[in-house]
Chain A
Amino acid sequence: MAQPEASQKSSSASVTSSLLAAVAKGDQQAFAQVYDATSSILFTLALRMLGDRDEAADLLQDVYSEVWRKGTRYDPARGTPTAWLVTLTRSRGIDRLRSRAAKGGRASVALEDSPAAEQAAGDGPGPLDMYAELELRSAVAKALGELPDTQQQALELAYYEGLSHTEIADRLKQPLGTIKTRIKLGMDKLRTTLQSHWEPR
């Protein structure tokens, strides 16, 4: 599928605001383009949070149907469209984790690191977007790799598992102050190393 608009952008901004505006107006083709450009990162996130492919797929279905119904909610002043979708997916994912916990299920399933072997051919994003995304992936992975393990762990427990600092401290049997410091230091470092990737251009 030709994506002239999307391919002009670099890095994570593979979905433009105007594309999302078209979705908000009910343009199915624009919606399909948004899906192509974002389903991979959103599914990756959903799978990491929920640990189950079927449930991750259900979560994506919820998220995209919300995008379809409420695309008007997106506000460019608050970040890129992709960042908005990531945030939406994360918060709906946390809702699922909470209701799972409320039903007595165990909260988290840590996934084995597996290579990107499942990258399906065909419907994926265009080659330029893919390249930009690869570049971003490697930058983020490198930046995370430079953090001490303890900082990575604290960030992951908060971001992917929805734990508060108190809950993380309990889980890791560490003082609260230590956990807060780890999160803060980790975020500070990432903010510096990844500056060229998050700063608005």
Chain B
Amino acid sequence: MSHEQFEESVPLYAVGALEKAERQVLEVHLLSGCTACHAALKSYSAVAGLLPYGLPPHAAPAELKGRIMEALPKSQTRTESSAAPVKIQEPARSWLADLLEPGGLRPSWGFNPAVSLAAVLIATGAVLYSVYLRSQVTIETGQIQRVQMMLQEENQRIAAAQQQLTAQHQELSALRDQVGLRTGEVEQLKAELASREEQVDQLQTHVAQQAGGNSDLRKALAQRDEILALLRSPDVKVVSFACLHDAKAAGGFILFDRSTQKALFYAFNMPALPPDKTYQLWAILDKPVSAGVFQPDQGQKTRGMVRGLPDPAKITKFAVSVEPSGGRLQPTGAIYLMGQL
């Protein structure tokens, strides 16, 4: 999706006419720091805020003022809320919090070449089930190796992590400036930034406390950097998912970066599945290629970073299907979400 397309959607955003997924995609674009769209949003939101002045005026009922003044919470609650302006507690977590929260990426994420190799083996007539098992084992072995490498490199990386924290502080203040330009409905993003800032602070404390480093911290930093880098990439493409099951409000999007072959996947309102089923994400080229299996969290949301997408230039669609637990090499179950490029 190009900047022009985003800018076209800004007036619709300002009057609240975008669909949820479109809104989220635009917010991602705004967060990536497009100043033209920020400026457009600011003016259109201001115009939208004038609309009620075009209505025939009605004074509020005379007794309402007294009723409201009387019902104002007294000082204890006040002090509490104004004393801690930074610790904003939102009742519901937003999609952005889900994306930026460190940790939580499922180990089953990640395109693995072993899966496509296995696909070729099927074509030569190998027994599906054994190949499937083998591919799973390969994936796990690969993961263990990766984790071991990470542990070895950790001590060297802790210094780098500290540098990243400094860089993240700079990013945060840049993001804060951008967000400061925004109006109206995107208020929540600001709260997200505040909580991210808190996360960075926490991480910093960790770094200070644990000079030897720890792999969770390192992973969390790397994940968040990866997400931020993707959000900022000029090559990023956005695909919105539509739900193919009618009357369902499920949706999502995938942001993928052709240059790094990485993608960020996010889906919401995904119903929980029985234990023997799983969702599986597919990149569809001339044939579907698995990009990972996932289960939604308790909020019916899921997110994940997909690495090593096959030839991104050839991808025409993304899809999510319901598959037997562990996933399949080709889609066998119902397609639940579909996103066209």
Contacts and interface: CB of A to CB of B under 8 A. Distances in A.
Given A32-B69, A83-B183, A40 B60 contact: yes
B82 A180 contact: no
B149 interface: no
B17 interface: yes
A100 interface: no
Contacts, number: 195
B59 A137 contact: no
A40 B59 contact: yes
Contacts of B184: 78-79, 83, 87
A79 B71 contact: no
A65 B15 CA distance: 25
B50 A198 contact: yes
Nearest to A73: B187
B46 A79 contact: yes
B64 A60 contact: yes
Nearest to A187: B11
A116 interface: yes
B56 A87 contact: no
A114 B62 CA distance: 18
Contacts of B82: 24-26, 72
Nearest to A63: B68
A63 to B, nearest CB: 9
A36 B64 CA distance: 11
B127 interface: no
Contacts of B51: 140, 144, 155, 159
B220 interface: no
B11 A45 contact: no
B125 interface: no
B190 interface: yes
B64 A61 contact: yes
A119 B57 CA distance: 8
Nearest to B80: A69
Interface in A41-67: 41-45, 47-48, 53, 57, 60-61, 64-65
Tier of interface size on chain B:
35 or more
Interface residues of A, number: 80
A79 B45 contact: yes
A164 B56 CA distance: 24
B64 A57 contact: yes
B163 interface: no
Contacts of B56: 44, 113-116
A124 interface: yes
A32 B18 CA distance: 36
Contact of A140 (B50, B81, B182): B50
B59 A120 contact: yes
Contact of A65 (B46, B68, B75): B68
A73 B77 CA distance: 16
Given A75-B190, A137-B53, A180 B19 contact: no
B274 interface: no
B73 interface: yes
A199 B62 CA distance: 33
A68 B73 contact: yes
Interface string B63-79: 01101110111010110
Contacts of B47: 187, 190-191, 194, 198
A93 B184 CA distance: 14
A198 B50 CA distance: 8
Contacts of B43: 191, 198-199
Contacts of A139: 53
Interface in A9-43: 12, 24-26, 28, 31-32, 35-36, 39-43
B28 to A, nearest CB: 18
A160 B17 CA distance: 11
Given A31-B72, A65-B71, A73-B187, A123 B50 contact: no
B62 A44 contact: no
Contact of B11 (A42, A166, A183, A197): A183
B66 to A, nearest CB: 9
Interface in A80-139: 80, 82-83, 86-87, 90-91, 94, 113-116, 118-120, 122-124, 133, 136-137, 139
Contact of A87 (B54, B68, B181, B183): B183
A74 to B, nearest CB: 10
Point out which of A113, A118, A133 has the most chain B C-beta atoms below 10 A from its C-beta: A118
B185 interface: yes
A143 B190 CA distance: 33
26 contacts: A12-B50, A12-B53, A40-B57, A57-B67, A60-B68, A68-B78, A69-B73, A72-B82, A75-B190, A77-B180, A78-B181, A83-B184, A87-B184, A87-B185, A113-B56, A114-B58, A120-B60, A137-B54, A139-B53, A141-B53, A141-B54, A158-B17, A159-B51, A165-B18, A184-B12, A194-B47
The 7 nearest A-B residue pairs measured at CB: A187-B11, A198-B46, A43-B60, A158-B17, A83-B49, A45-B52, A140-B53
